[in-house]
């Protein structure tokens, strides 16, 4: 359901760290989505959402709360969504039409940073088994691209990988790679990286 006043559930990275630390041991994966809505629409289907300005929203105070963000995978997972992709069309993945509100570079970086913070504080590795896009989860469960399922999910199938590479690349690889970079950078500096 759409949250009427998302500004009331806006959080910062310190609050995110606290939420993650309280959930350690109870979360085994993160599933990354987009809302297929507008930049400023936050939905209560996800534990965390990122708007086009990189602001972070948490409509729940407990990351272990079960929200129905992913078919058969909502227990023990944190659902994180980019607020974007209104009227997006998959085409064939590499020919994605992200619609009039595509994922922004700031959203992609913020989501990667959130993944880095969560995996560090939940003590999870950054792997395709622990950090998945909804498209990757759907492909494993038989309702991803090419499945013919009328409820096909392809969230974050492909994404740009700015500034490293041009063109579109598999979204899970892009986000996991950027999250790993933030972890390395954070460990070198001995503190959290600000973006």
Per-residue pLDDT averaged across 171-182, rounded?
A: 97
Determine the Cα–Cα distance for residues 187 and 183; give it in Å rounded to an integer: 6
Q: In this structure, what token pair is assigned to residue 172? A: 């899970």
pLDDT of residue 105: 96
Question: Strand order of the sheet with strand 56-57?
Answer: 10-11, 56-57, 48-50, 77-82, 29-34, 131-133
Among 30-39, 51-60, 123-132, 140-149, the range scoring the smallest mean pLDDT is: 140-149
Q: Phi, psi (5° rounding) for residue 57?
A: -125, 140
Over residues 69-128, the pLDDT tens digits come to: 998 999 999 999 999 999 999 888 788 999 999 999 999 999 999 999 999 999 999 999
pLDDT of residue 191: 55
What mean pLDDT value characterizes the chain? 94
pLDDT of residue 83: 98
Determine the Cα–Cα distance for residues 109 and 115; give it in Å rounded to an integer: 10
Q: How confident is the model at residue 162 (pLDDT cuts 50, 70, 90)?
A: confident
pLDDT of residue 185: 87
Per-residue pLDDT averaged across 12-27, rounded?
A: 98
Of residues 135, 131, 126, the one with CA closest to residue 181:
126
Q: How confident is the model at residue 190 (pLDDT cuts 50, 70, 90)?
A: low
How many alpha carbons lie under 13 Å from residue 192 in its C-beta half-sphere?
16
Sorted by sequence, the CB contacts under 8 Å of residue 35 that are 6+ apart come out as 41, 42, 43, 46, 49, 81, 82, 83, 84, 85
pLDDT of residue 164: 84
Question: C-alpha angle with apex 56: 170 to 191, nearest 5 degrees?
Answer: 85
Whether the pLDDT of residue 135 is over 60: the answer is yes
pLDDT of residue 94: 82
pTM: 0.94
pLDDT of residue 194: 46
């Amino acid at each position: 359901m759409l949250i009427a006043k998302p500004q009331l559930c806006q959080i910062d990275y310190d609050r995110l760290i606290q939420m993650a630390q309280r959930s350690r041991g109870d979360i085994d994966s993160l599933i990354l989505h987009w809302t297929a809505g507008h930049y400023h629409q936050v939905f209560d289907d996800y534990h965390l959402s990122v708007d086009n300005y990189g602001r972070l929203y948490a409509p729940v105070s407990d990351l272990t709360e079960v929200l129905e963000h992913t078919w058969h995978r909502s227990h023990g997972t944190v659902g994180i969504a980019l607020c974007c992709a209104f009227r997006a069309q998959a085409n064939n993945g590499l020919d994605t039409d992200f619609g009039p509100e595509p994922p922004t570079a700031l959203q992609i970086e913020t989501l990667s940073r959130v993944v880095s913070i969560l995996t560090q504080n939940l003590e999870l590795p950054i792997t395709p088994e622990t950090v998945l896009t909804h498209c990757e989860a759907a492909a494993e469960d038989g309702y991803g691209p090419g499945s013919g399922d009328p409820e096909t999910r392809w969230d974050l199938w492909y994404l740009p990988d700015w500034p490293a590479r041009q063109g579109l690349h598999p979204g899970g690889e892009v986000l996991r790679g950027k999250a790993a970079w933030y972890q390395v950078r954070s460990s070198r500096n001995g503190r959290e990286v600000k973006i």
